Chains A and B, each alone.
Chain A
């Protein structure tokens, strides 16, 4: 009985490791690595170190807070280049082997997401090796990582989902309109009635889990809300992967 259960578990594990999505992810990563662009992301991290931590020493809270924005920006730039490379006409031969195009988009997302972890680790290692933090403790760095990595993963996954051929131009416009609305609701650039401000603040609701993770990384205080935020970010990632897969299935593919 136990033997059967073990065999089943091994088979499931093997099945997961051999899934088309994971193979696409490995292939994409290998291509991205060999193209040199992946190393470019690491170089940008070095630039962040130079720009944000020299000449002054900074606190761990500062590191965690700025890293969300700097690695978040990199989570837009890197995956955009990666997807552009991976969805050229070369993808036809790959897609011709898959029974579902969603496996392809999932593979791209997996690569983009997993790459955020070594990038964060590299940034942290650089900062620590250069002794740029005034108060590094295991606890603040740990909770910082727990807050930062999911946010950058979410940004990377969202970026992949919004790239061509997954999303159409119209979908990207809708998304950017929402971003503009959120920014406006945070800080209106012209006076608006209070009731309208309240209505517009509804657009901020989807960002609540991100805000919780941000707070967790900066303060290092984990509570039920921050854990719920982490859980919701995981749900966001899964949902985005499903939606992007559905979009790609329905798209007409004209790759160049």
Chain B
């Protein structure tokens, strides 16, 4: 990585390896960068290394090998005042009120007096908890606690936010609310690192994703590019034609992925050949649509390639 890129990177890791005491390799030679302003989704199954990477970025753990810089700091705890962190579970001191808890958190971050009151009030307002601010946290629902944790992450108006499972286990309203907040933060140009199992959510909230598997990076790219990779084309024949019959007759079945009535799904690479055969046989074509994939399909294809030889039913045009 060039020094210019490194300066622009909020997180830059090179050959990052983490081996736990028991000998389990959680991350292996991971090279990754998260650039400023990016909304970065970290995907992977349980045990893929997502949480380990977050803990390394937060400095809760030390790498076994490799280099890691966060906001330009090699000693990552020095970057803490510029980071907002949301833990995967809403662990808070339940005996406090939301307001008291945030006041303490803001004080630890060096916000006192009027600045403290303003930031706490603003953070509670942002997560829609102003009216519940003086209630004990023990009376909060899980969604409210999660929003409170987001509020504590936003107290210092950090430039980089790490959101570990931000909507995990929340009811639909809370999920929506959290997504609205994240969307707003993204709109304000904050750099976001979102770990989530909800792929549709990541597809909506992130512009770049990385997929980890057994501690290794198996896919990384812009969401748009990943889902718009046109490897499947849908050809709609005339209503009275049977796509299966046409394919067999023209001997193009090897390129066909799926047929359904007058619909033919083929590999994009064979598009020219199939079209030439159809035009040559004077088969009428109603429509030709390149198919885009969902992030879920990209994810399954990357992590379980053997299960995705055929395009899943859910492929959308």
Q: Is A34 an interface residue (CB 8 A)?
A: yes
Interface flag for A7 (CB, 8 Å): no
B104 within 8 A of A: yes
Is B81 a contact of A97 with CB atoms below 8 Å?
A: yes
Q: A27 at interface (Cβ–Cβ under 8 A)?
A: yes
User: What's the Cα separation between A22 and B148 when bound, in Å?
Assistant: 24
Q: Does A92 contact B87, Cβ atoms closer than 8 Å?
A: yes
Cα-based distance from A251 to B281 in the complex (angstroms): 72
Residue of A nearest to B20 (CB): A252
- Residue B91 CB within 8 A of the other chain: yes
Are A94's CB and B87's CB within 8 A?
Answer: no
CA distance A31 to B85 in the complex (A): 21
How far apart are the CA atoms of A34 and B78 in the complex, in Å? 32
Verify A18–B62 contact, CB threshold 8 A. no
Identify B87's interface contact among A23, A26, A89, A100, CB under 8 A.
Answer: A89
Q: How far is the CB of A28 from chain B (nearest CB, A)?
A: 10
Closest approach, in angstroms, between the C-beta of A2 and any C-beta of chain B?
A: 26
Choose from B58, B91, B107, B109 the contact partner of A90 (Cβ within 8 Å): B91
Known: A88-B91, A97-B109, A98-B108. A252 touches B62 (CB 8 A): yes
> Are A98 and B77 in touch, CB under 8 angstroms?
yes
- B112 surroundings in chain A (CB, below 8 A): 18
Out of A94, A99, A254, name the residue touching B81 (CB < 8 Å).
A99
Is B110 within 8 A of A18, CB to CB?
Answer: yes
How far is A89 from B93 in the complex, measured between Cα atoms in Å?
10
Instruction: Report Cα–Cα, A101/B100, bound state, in Å.
Output: 22
A179-212: CB near B (< 8 Å → 1, else 0) gives 0000000000000000000000000000000000
Within the complex, the shortest CB–CB distance from B317 to chain A, in Å, comes to: 44
Residues on B with C-beta less than 8 A from A20 are 108, 110
* A99 in contact with B104 (CB, 8 Å): no
**Which residues of chain A (82-110) have a CB below 8 Å from chain B?**
88-90, 92-101
The answer to whether B80 and A99 have CB atoms under 8 Å apart is: yes
Q: Are B92 and A93 closer than 8 Å at their CB atoms? A: yes
Chain B residues near A30 (CB-CB < 8 A) = 96, 100, 104
**B60 near A252: Cβ-Cβ < 8 Å:** yes
CB-CB contacts below 8 Å: B108-143 with A: 108-110, 112
Q: Is B95 an interface residue (CB 8 A)?
A: yes
B96 touches A34 (CB 8 A): yes
Which partner residue on chain A sits nearest B62 by CB separation?
Answer: A252
Q: Given A89-B91, A99-B81, is A94 in contact with B108 using a C-beta cutoff of 8 Å?
A: yes
Closest to A36 in B: B95
Interface presence of B278 (CB below 8 A): no
B-side contacts of A99, CB under 8 Å: 77-78, 80-81
Please name all residues of chain A whose beta carbon is closer than 8 Å to the beta carbon of B92 when the two chains form the complex: 90, 93
A89 and B107 contact, Cβ closer than 8 Å, known pairs A97-B81, A252-B60:
no
Chain A nearest Cβ from B8, distance in angstroms: 23
Q: Does A157 contact B (CB under 8 A)?
A: no
B108 near A101 (CB under 8 angstroms)? no
Q: Quick check: B107 and A18 within 8 Å, CB to CB?
A: yes
Docked Cα-Cα span, A224 to B297, in Å, equals 79
A 16-55 binary contact with B (CB < 8 Å = 1; else 0) = 0010100110110011001100000000000000000000
A-B contact pairs, 6 of them (CB 8 A): A23-B107, A23-B108, A27-B104, A97-B105, A98-B77, A253-B60
Query: What are the 9 tightest A-B residue pairs by CB atom distance, in nearest-first order?
Result: A34-B95, A96-B85, A253-B60, A90-B91, A89-B91, A23-B107, A27-B104, A252-B61, A97-B108
Contacts A99-B78, A100-B77 given; 4 further ones with Cβ under 8 A? A90-B91, A92-B87, A93-B92, A101-B77
- Give B contacts to A, CB under 8 Å: 55, 58, 60-62, 77-78, 80-81, 83, 85, 87, 89, 91-93, 95-96, 100, 104-105, 107-110, 112, 149, 152, 156
